[in-house]
Amino acid sequence: MAFSSQRVEWVVAVLAIVAILLVAAVLSFTLFPMYWPSGAEEDGIFRIKTKTATGFGHRHTIATLYAKRRKLGSNLESYRKNPYNPAQVLFTTYDWGGKPGGTFFYDDATQRLVRLGPNWYIDDPEPKRLWAPGGRLTVITALEDVRALNTTTCHVEHLARTLFADGRQRNLTFVGWSPNGTRLAIVVNGVRGEPSAAGQDLLEIDTRTWRPRYVATMSDRPRGTDWCWQPSEMKWRPTPAGYLLQPAAAPRDGARVVVKPAAPPYLAKAD
């Protein structure tokens, strides 16, 4: 059956329109971001919604954290709930699309959202270690700083600012909590911007006063092993005044532990 010229022109026009629409769809899919829901995760009070972003040929997932209907933060990287209080969460977001990332604490009971600092590491292999026993305090740590947050008052203590009498910034590493959560152990290792010190000073911090107490110094640790004090190399001794931190058995790798007769001079308000 022969087609009339008019019908042929009509078919050609329809095919041309379809081709234009397909090209436009491909270009918009490839050159411009397109979003669509790709999943959701429910966790009691908290909810994570994810969507897939596609742009310039690349694809990645964007997660957003909600507390019930309140949006807490986009570009979610990680989050940790308070194991002692299901209404509290610690989470980090990454920089994306001109929005700066950060580390945040949120309490759904009080509706308080607090920014603790930049995007810092909270993916501890033991998430419970981030929270003091009882959940009254939480810590976030970077290579050069440790910050502690009171989960009731939302006060943030910047230990790198308050511990040192000479004003020189030193590298801090959080190690652990006392069994009752009133004291924490940190390691001081050299001055920021300078080569690492030969030894690492172990300190005990009273979280009620934020006063430090010098415990011991570790040095001569062989290369290729854990450079810092490990939880197994210290212990908390119960006393009538509370728990006191002290070295445990000598390290197996030959590192040397000494207790100096006086606290390092860089400490402010040392006990």
Partners of 218 in the beta sheet?
200, 257
Coil, helix or strand at residue 103: strand
Contact present, 190 and 171 (Cβ < 8 Å): yes
Report the percentage of the chain scoring pLDDT > 90: 26
Tokens describing residue 78: 């990680």
Q: Which of 114-128, 210-224, 240-254 has the lowest mean pLDDT?
A: 114-128
Please state the rounded mean pLDDT for residues 248-262: 78
Q: Reply yes or no on whether the pLDDT at 34 is more than 90.
A: no
**From CA 222, how far away is CA 203, in angstroms rounded?**
22
Domain range summary for the chain, segments of one domain joined by +: 33-130, 163-271
The predicted pLDDT at position 196 comes to 56
Amino acid at 57: G
Partners of 64 in the beta sheet?
49
Is the pLDDT higher at 247 or at 270?
247
Q: Reply yes or no on whether the pLDDT at 106 is more than 90.
A: yes
Supply the pTM of this predicted model.
0.74
Please state the rounded mean pLDDT for residues 70-89: 89
For 220-244, the pLDDT digits (tens) are 666 655 567 877 888 999 999 889 9
Q: Reply yes or no on whether the pLDDT at 99 is more than 90.
A: no
The helix or strand, by DSSP H or E, that contains position 19, with its residue range, turns out to be helix 5-31
Please state the rounded mean pLDDT for residues 79-90: 90
Is the pLDDT higher at 14 or at 195?
14
Is the pLDDT higher at 155 or at 198?
155
For 162-187, the pLDDT digits (tens) are 888 777 777 888 888 999 999 999 98
Burial degree of 49 (CB within 10 A; 0-12, 13-18, 19+): middle
Of 155, 212, 224, 165, give the one whose Cα is nearest residue 187.
Answer: 212
